[in-house]
Amino acid sequence: MQVPFVVRGVIVPLLAPTSENGMGVDEEALRTHVAWLIDKGVHGLMPCGTTGEGPLLTAEERRRVLETVVEATAHRVAVIAHVGVASTSETIDLARHARDVGADAISAVTPYYFRLPEQALVAHYCRLAEAVPDLPVFLYNIPQCTGNSLTRAAVEAIVARCPNVVGIKDSSGDLSSLLGFVGVNGGDFRVVCGSDGLLLQALQAGACAGVSGNANVFPEVVVELFRAFWRGDMEGARRQQSLLDVARRAMGDGADLALLKAMLEVRGLASGPVRSPLPPATPETVARCRATLEAAGLL
């Protein structure tokens, strides 16, 4: 059946470096970013998600991004490929590709655009999981972007039918939503926090990992938050959470990918512009963000 898989710690939802015209993936810049993040101590990578502009990439670009990340990672950290799109069939195609190129697990956001009843969401995820029975699958709940929310009842129905569905990334920003998934399947279910502002609270409540968009730029802060938490240094963990809060607010709380990319450039790594129709960051916004981060000692 499925290969045992443990997710723990800092998972980075990789930014997707682009060429200067905003078209095409800069694979060399992506390799450099992957190596830098691994050197900083992160525990896993998640390409082609929300932070990676996944919905704006073509299917072929998503495949190339994942292939590049798997190759650059060379089994040093886990790769959780985000494969979710609006249609079940294309999600399955991307999942099979992820399996074939060596991803450790997959994640899939709920289908978007069309509002779906709970039974349709359950059927979608079960078809996905059954298509790649040897691959661990993580559900991904971000209803503010997709319009479709996963409930505990839906998750329990999926897990009951699909043993390779092993966890969920909750990016709802609602702590009560995240807490609702803790204890699914008798506690043998991994809850991953996708909201940086709730990270420490989520860990205290039983989450095992965090998918942190801000860790693209400041991996040291998030890695040290986990290390402090694991060694029982709650004062240190709270200090790192406070720094993370400064970073996330300065960079648009995960919603301004142009600012994230601009600050990665400030740190010396090529990232390129965001893809249309996402708006570019203005010089004034970049300067204000940089000043805030410098004042906090982050730059």
Neighbouring residues of 154: CB distance < 8 A, sequence distance ≥ 6: 118, 121, 122
Give tens-digit pLDDT for 184-214.
Answer: 998 899 999 999 999 999 999 999 999 999 9
Instruction: Give the residue numbers annotated as catalytic, written as ranges.
Output: 140, 169
Q: Of 101, 183, 97, 112, nearest to 142 (Cα)?
A: 112
Neighbouring residues of 100: CB distance < 8 A, sequence distance ≥ 6: none
Write the DSSP assignment of 99-156 as a string of letters: HHHT-SEEEEEPP-SS---HHHHHHHHHHHHHHSTTS-EEEEE-HHHHS----HHHHH
Alpha carbon 42 to its chain centroid, in Å, reads 13
For residues 95 and 130, is the Cβ–Cβ distance under 8 A? Answer: no
Q: Left if phi > 0, otherwise alpha if psi is -120 to 50, otherwise beta: which for 101?
A: alpha
Q: Label residues 232-241 b or e (16+ Cβ within 10 Å = b).
A: eeeeebeebb
Cα separation, 185 vs 158, whole angstroms: 10
Cα separation, 30 vs 65, whole angstroms: 8
Q: Is 253 exposed, middle or buried (0-12, 13-18, 19+ CB in 10 A)?
A: middle
Neighbouring residues of 79: CB distance < 8 A, sequence distance ≥ 6: 44, 45, 46, 47, 66, 69, 70, 73, 102, 103, 104, 105
β-strand 209-211 against 190-193: which pairing, if any?
parallel
Q: What pLDDT does 1 receive?
A: 42
CATH superfamily of 9-233: Aldolase class I (3.20.20.70)
Q: What pLDDT does 6 receive?
A: 76
Q: What pLDDT does 4 receive?
A: 52
Q: What pLDDT does 22 receive?
A: 64
Rg (CA), the chain: 18
Each of the 299 residues of the chain gets a pLDDT tens digit; together they read 444 577 899 999 999 999 877 678 999 999 999 999 999 999 999 999 999 999 999 999 999 999 999 999 999 999 999 999 999 999 999 999 999 999 999 999 999 999 999 999 999 999 999 999 999 999 999 999 999 999 999 999 999 999 999 999 999 999 999 999 998 998 899 999 999 999 999 999 999 999 999 999 999 999 999 999 999 999 999 999 999 999 999 998 878 999 999 999 999 999 999 999 999 999 999 999 999 999 999 99
For residues 78 and 91, is the Cβ–Cβ distance under 8 A? Answer: no
In the numeric block, the tokens 């803790």 are attached to 182
Q: What pLDDT does 19 receive?
A: 83
